[in-house]
Amino acid sequence: MILLLALACATDPAPPPTTIAGTGIPIGTDVPMVPTMLGEVPGVAFTGDWTSTGCAGRSFARNLRFENDNSYAGIDLVSPCPLNTQCVWSGIVGYAGIWKQEGNKLLLREIGAPTAPGSPHPTEVTSTVDGTLMENGCTYTRGLTVPDGLTEDQVRPNIPR
C-alpha cells in the first residue's frame, strides 16, 4: 500500500531540453563544433584567416587573421594597385593588435590605431551559429579575398613579431 502512495505522489519528469546546454541554440540546429581539451563543443574556432568582401558602410574587402597567442592583424583592400600598373599608393592598409574572448565575441584592441583610409577598423567581432563572424553588420567567412594580380601572401595579414 505504501508503494502505491509513493508512486501517486511522484512529480512529472522534467521535459527534455530544447536547446544545447549553455548556448540558447535550438537542438537540431547545424552548429559548427570546436575541439577543446574536454571534447568537442558548439562554437566557432576564431583562429586563422577570415574575409569580408564588403557590406553597408564599407565597399572594400577586409581580411583578418587571429592567432592563438591573442594577437591579430587586418588588411583593408581599399584600392589595391591593378596588375601591370605602377601606383603612388598601393591602397592596402594594414593594422594589428591584440584580442580577448568574452563568450561568443572577440574584443579587439588595435596597437597604434591609425586614421588612414579604411578606418575605422573593427573593435569587436561576434560568432554566429552558422560558423561565420559578424562585425557591425558585416559577415566574415573563412579564407582570404585575393584581388586579381595579387597573391595570398600579399593580402594575408601579418602579425608583427
Q: Which domains does the chain have, with CATH numbers?
A: 36-155 (2.40.128)
At 154 the three-state DSSP class reads helix
**For residues 89 and 44, what is the distance between their CA atoms, to the nearest angstrom?**
36
- pLDDT for 42: 57
- pLDDT for 76: 92
pTM of the model: 0.70
- pLDDT for 100: 92
Please name which of 130, 152, 144, 158 lies closest in space to residue 63, comparing C-alpha atoms. 144
- pLDDT for 10: 56
Please name which of 76, 48, 47 lies closest in space to residue 60, comparing C-alpha atoms. 76
- Tens of pLDDT along the chain (161 residues) come to 554 544 455 566 667 666 555 445 555 555 556 555 555 555 567 889 999 998 888 889 999 999 989 999 999 998 887 777 777 777 888 899 999 988 888 999 998 765 555 568 899 999 887 778 999 889 999 999 999 888 999 899 998 87
